[in-house]
Amino acid sequence: MDTTVIVALVAAISAIVSPLVANHLNNRHALKMRRLELYTEKRIAVINEFVSNISKYLVNESEVLETELGASICSIYLYAPREIWPDLDALYGYIALNDRKSAKRVLPDIAKLLSESVSGSNIKKTAHNPK
């Protein structure tokens, strides 16, 4: 076979395969971005629900059902950074001991840390144990 024919075949195959590969890679990237977007939306919703339910519970215990509070407490661990887990544990300890004053004191700091985690800020300290 002549080298010109081989080069022409390679060029023709490349012209067919290249757009297919590019399209496939673009679709995979778009799918990953959509999954990340959905995860972020869910994460923000869970964090909002958590802060709202805990706040309602601390202000007026009867306003939030125990099941809603429990679900919020369990769900937040799926979306909160590990660095915040000790703060969440401390908050739940205060709630379990019915120490509303301490729980109300640490909740704003936890909410700020959760907000920073959503916005992409680095978490350098914790509400429970500031450094």
How high is the pLDDT of residue 125?
Answer: 54
Sequence-distant (6+) residues with CB within 8 A of 69 are 53, 54, 57
How high is the pLDDT of residue 131?
Answer: 42
The per-residue pLDDT for range 79-105, each reduced to its tens digit, is 999 999 999 999 999 988 989 899 999
Residue 68 CA neighbour count, 13 Å, CB half: 14
**C-alpha separations of 56 from 19, 45, 69, 73, 81 in Å:** 55, 16, 10, 13, 23
How high is the pLDDT of residue 82?
Answer: 93
How high is the pLDDT of residue 121?
Answer: 62
Length of the chain measured in residues = 131
**Residue 71, pLDDT above cutoff 90:** no
Closest by CA position to 69, among listed 96, 44, 36, 31: 96
Rounded Cα–Cα distance for residues 76 and 51 (Å): 10
Sequence-distant (6+) residues with CB within 8 A of 46 are 72, 75, 76, 78, 79
The average pLDDT across 40-64 equals: 87
